Amino acid sequence: MSTMFAGLQGEFMTQKRFLEAIIVGSGFGGAVMCCRLAMRWPGEVLLLERGKRYPKGSFARSPHDFAANFWAPAEDGQARKLNGLFDIRNYRRMDSVVSAGLGGGSLIYANVFMPAPAWVFGPRWPAQISATTLAPYYRVAQSVLAARPVPPAEGDARRTIQRTSLYADFARADGRTSRAADIAVFFGKGYASRQSGPLPLGEQERNRYGATQTSCTYCGECDVGCNVHAKNTLDLNYLFAAEKQHGALVETGSEVTRITPLSEAGEPDSTADGRYGYRVDYRDDAGTPLHALARRVVVAAGTLGTNELLLRCRDTLGTLPRLSQRLGHGFSGNGDFLSFVSGGTRAADPTYGPVITQFIDYGLQQPTPGQPSFMLEDAAYPAFAAWYVEGLRPAAGLSYLFNRIARTFKVFKQRWVDQLFSGKWSGSMSAYAHTALQGDLSYRSSVLLFMGQDAADGTLHLHRGRLALDWPQSSSRPLYDAIVACGKRFQQFAGASTYFPQPTWAWPVRNNITVHPLGGCALAEEPAHGVVSSLPGARGQVFGYQRLYVADGSLLPTGVGANPSATIAALAEWIAEDITGMTPDDTLGVPHA
């Protein structure tokens, strides 16, 4: 969207153009809702995203650019100083990393599409939602996101991912099975539709919705933003169709600050119930206050953003006083736990390939009564991060530096002897360069990504006007202890010299890190048990208000253990169908898709 058009659009909003819907946030829930509602009301849906657009090649890579690659809230009336990709939060016993940008978490997630196991939909979930209920919505979302396993290598060295076989061998040794994960990565339109093999690495073509993508180059940079658009991020499917095909209005750099219901006269009225619509106040990156009006509002700002906005509207601003007292309760970190193993005897090469390629089930798909349920996924990280680690090693210990010098001197000595007695000298310095660089730490190191079923008993609330979290970690310790034990078994299997859990796990900090914050606006049949309705005709609607909806990870009454993006997208499809009366399909209303 051009700057001129964006300015005109904002002007129209403030002149009381009454829209059909405003979507707050563009992650898996917001993107689905934007597309489906724009299909129902073309040109009458506005999406507000706090982050910015990321065209191909625009993700930070240099140290200078990474220094500004973080998002932070701005002070009232002040210009935003940081509007980058990563929003890092620090809470008591739990830290979180989430994304800001058009496409939300899809910009930095590890691409995995995994429906929640059937048993997860237990007593804390409303009766209207089960694996069977969500099955058709999972299928549609998976088709839109084109999630399939990595193509088999079939002898092609460029498609061979070393760590996948390492994890498969560990699974067998540990009495488990490694399975290929469905990942939302572009390997060509034909591969996505199962009509042909993968497109050669690095070649480009348009996907079924018209966005140009690149066949995955196996660079391992999925979690820092894919600069070649090989990830099937939401801005290349749901949001692309919403904006290009159905005229959705998209404003980036727009942070929503207040939601207020309107009176029959069209004025903000905190005593109203939303039947006459809503006013949504927001500010742009320059700190300029703006507002928009709509018949309905969908809050999909991510678990942290949605809870913070609704808590502020209820408890600080007083614009949504009817919200359930269950708001903020039932937070889950989805059992996320990151570990590292280094100095193994087998090649892992974690800088090559999509970030996740497989998973090993430890009771998540088939639970054992009384035992923690979790899974282990492999992981990749960018090659530039490996260079950073290598740069730190001399500072970490002089023995490493002396060892490198000694090895290089040994080669130099042998070459000098050969030249002295045989008179042979090729002039090549390749052997010295090879000796100096070989044996890097990353090649035989592994990153272990664990997820599991935690107690989901955290509470989000406001402290001095900002979101805070109480996380009673002890109730989830059996899960974390089982995960640490699994990590140590991996270390022994890999013959690794070092195993260490996530950096913040060391005493006395003992903080978890989650990249999948969930809960706080739980789906329920009544407000005594949740914040959002699961009943037919009111799916996703906030108790106490009409036409005010939530559609993101905050809906989940518990963690799901599996990567939650699939369940969030499926729930959004389920809610959108109830609002629009339109059965979703995978064409997104795009001709010939």
Q: Which tens digits make up the pLDDT trace of 506-545?
A: 777 788 999 999 999 999 999 999 999 999 999 999 999 9
| pLDDT score recorded for residue 592 | 85
Q: Report the DSSP beta bridge partners of residue 477.
A: none
Residues of the chain with pLDDT under 50: 1-15, 395-396, 400-401, 404, 407-408, 411, 425, 429, 431-437
Q: Do residues 538 and 546 touch, judged by C-beta distance below 8 A?
A: no
For the whole prediction, is pTM greater than 0.75?
yes
Look at residue 209 and give its three-state secondary structure: coil
| pLDDT score recorded for residue 414 | 56
Q: Do residues 58 and 81 touch, judged by C-beta distance below 8 A?
A: no
Q: Do residues 186 and 146 touch, judged by C-beta distance below 8 A?
A: yes
| pLDDT score recorded for residue 166 | 95
List Cβ neighbours of 339 (8 Å cut-off, separation of 6 or more): 447, 448, 450, 483, 484, 487, 499, 500, 501, 502
| pLDDT score recorded for residue 8 | 42
| pLDDT score recorded for residue 391 | 65
- Checking 63-72 for CB contacts under 8 A at 24+ apart, the result is 71/100
What does the alpha-carbon distance between residue 125 and residue 578 come to, in Å, rounded to a whole number? 19
What does the alpha-carbon distance between residue 233 and residue 206 come to, in Å, rounded to a whole number? 14
Q: Write out the two tokens for 5.
A: 């058009």
What does the alpha-carbon distance between residue 24 and residue 34 come to, in Å, rounded to a whole number? 9
What does the alpha-carbon distance between residue 290 and residue 288 come to, in Å, rounded to a whole number? 6
| pLDDT score recorded for residue 399 | 53
- In tens, the pLDDT along 84-107 reads 999 999 998 999 999 999 999 999
Closest CA to 325 of 539, 542, 572, 126: 542
Q: Do residues 37 and 315 touch, judged by C-beta distance below 8 A?
A: no
All domains of the chain in start order, with CATH: 1-147+242-334+516-586 (3.50.50.60), 185-231 (no CATH), 385-443 (no CATH)
Q: Is the bond leading into 261 cis (omega within 30 degrees of zero)?
A: no
φ, ψ for residue 515, nearest 5 deg: -110, 5
